[in-house]
Structure 1
Amino acid sequence: MRIDCRWIALLLLAACAGMRDPETGSNDSGSSGLLTITASADEVTVGDSPVTLTAAPGEASWSLLGPGKLSGVTGQTTQYLPPDSLDLTESVTVTASRGSDKARAVLKVHPRLSYPVGRRPVAIGFDGARLWVAGAWDLDVLILRPSDAAPLGRVVVNHGVGALVFDGTNMWTINPGADSVTKLRAADGANLGTFPVGNQPIAGAFDGTNLWVTNRGDRTVTKLRASDGAILGTFPVPGGPAGIAFDGKNLWVANHDRPPPGGAGETVTCVRPSDGANLGNVYVGPAPWFVIADGSELWVTSLYAGLVTQLDTTSGGLLQTGRIGNGANVQGMTVARGSLWFGLVPGSVVKVNPANLSQQASFTIKGPSAFAFDGTRLWIGSLDGNSLTPL
């Protein structure tokens, strides 16, 4: 009997078409010629990385039904970008189209959770296993489990805390109203003592052996031996010091105030840890406050107008300067996951590309002020919301 191969081919095509899901456009047989979508995830939380969607075979046109947006509307791939904020979990549908052929992927988008903490959290620390949170109006420090922000305990310090510094074993609180610092053992929260520093301490940094504290009220930095809190020296710096950072070799101090007569405010000062010597002042513009050392680079941010300066820590030379957040005032900053993060007035966190200071993403958080990265998530303290939000 003679068999016409053309009829067999037609029958096979009809059979394959019958296996296609009319709603999703997916091809259960996996054979070529029918449009399918592969998604890198089927659930996403506000603030997470985008979901990548790939059409096969070839290019397609993309559309979205639901909150958020797509990175592109044509091509073989696109990315679903969640909205900045969301009140309830919602489902979104991403559709790939090529002619009359369509495929759909349904993604669940979850709101970003916030966890209540003390009153106006101004400082967050991470000791490698636990989060430590200090509220501006509290006299204690809250310890949390990072996986779910469950409370593990509270440590009374009897002072309002303005900053937290971890030395690898102990968590130190900077107490602006008491002109002191308090040493807490990270393993169990035991209070190991409170030690005097200068007038109105603002921030601290650990150099591997000693703790350094900026004293804005008397324009000095204090060096304490971390092992026992003994004061090893107090050294003058210009302009009312605020933020401080250790780059692995030297310390950098932000001199916030305007220059006094013959002074050098609106600068950062490079300080040699061995003897507190001033190695030079570098002008960075008005009101520098936050300082972060990231390898061979130093980031300095003004409290006002979103001014950001990048310096080379080896030479002190200017690498770049710019403004972020349309010149909004800054309440906090950090470096995490290869990006810069800024808390802006009145209520947003922006993620910035350090290569060119371009904005990568923005998230709505009330009064963001404090940051801590636990190796997986970035935790942000909300002054106005009395809460922590992970990104």
Structure 2
Amino acid sequence: MQQNFLAVNAGSSSIKFQAFATAGDNLARRVSGLLDGIGSQPRLHIKDGAGATLVDESLATLSVPSVEAGEAIVGDWLTGTMAADIIGGPIAAIGHRVVHGGPDFSTAARIDDAVLARITALTHLAPLHQPKNLAPIHAWRQRRPDLPQVACFDTAFHRGHSELADRFAIPDALYREGVRRYGFHGISYEFIAGKLREVAPAVAGGRVIVAHLGNGCSLCALQDGRSVDSTMSFTALDGIPMGTRPGAIDPGIVLYLMREKAMDAAAIERFLYHQCGLKGLSGISNDVRILEASADKMARLALDHFVYRITKEIGALAAVLGGIDALVFTAGIGENGADLRARIVAGSAWLGLTLDKDANRAKKIDLSAVPQGPRVLMIPTDEEWMIARHTKRLLDAG
């Protein structure tokens, strides 16, 4: 009997969602949608499984001031007649992306009151994301309290790291409290690890570095398809620069902001999550497309810094792996930023990486210039498919 699953990926200013129907042991995409520009210029775009547009509508700014308001719009559409006809029946369960699972959640979990309370208690570790992830969970609990819901954690894929990789050089008592390196974007990395076995089996079991480059950015070192290290750590602030987050900084800067700028914890949190990264350094935008089109020298500096820090961390992860068999680009910038891909590969050429310019512009899967040596790949991620797969697995388990 066919079952239908909904995957919801709520971000700080967008809600992505996809509906899947079971097709034997596989999942067939029935609907994919995006409500983005929440709080600014909201737009709802929905396609069917064949890619045909079902809805393409710009909404009034005041009608979608928050993710909570956006969830109401998405939920109303998904419970309407059109969605039921296209999906082919009622939804059996909903899976949600949840950024932080803390030290306890090493796999997806079916949501009940106790699990929801534990997820909520982790909000201080991901204040930009966790409340947005929780919003659709609460909304669907009110709309359909009987409907099974599943939390899929961005940290879960990294929970197999060695203690050596996960520790900070701080007292052991803090580690025991959960102050450790977690890593994020794990749903995306898990999808890429599986996809590599299909599109590049020769390297799938080897030493692979995946660059998840979007508004949030991180790198992950894979060995035999498993995460062994990542640039993000205790929170989603660490690692390489991002759209509005700085990546790794000297903790002394936080002390400086407290002492010299009289900033309290809330002000520092807003600063680190919303005013740094490409936006803060350029003073222009967190959007790479806008920075690439700008003649402003600070836009160029921001992009140069972005590339520098990424190539530096690729070198560090290559050292952890003892070499590299493939570099994989994914997510919004990784999949669409041909110029940045070229610059990053050029900066990592000492590892044996090469780039075919034509393949890079054409967005092929294998972007390598030569048939031998480490591969440079571009693989679109599909977090929603991964969420739906985990949701189906838990529902089948009962």
* Shorter-chain TM-score range: under 0.3
Q: Which has the larger radius of gyration?
A: 1
Larger relative contact order, structure 1 or 2 (CA cutoff 8 Å, min sep 6):
2
Q: If each structure's strand is expressed as a fraction of its own residues, which one has the higher value?
A: 1
The alignment's TM-score, normalised by the length of structure 2, stands at 0.24
Q: If each structure's helix is expressed as a fraction of its own residues, which one has the higher value?
A: 2
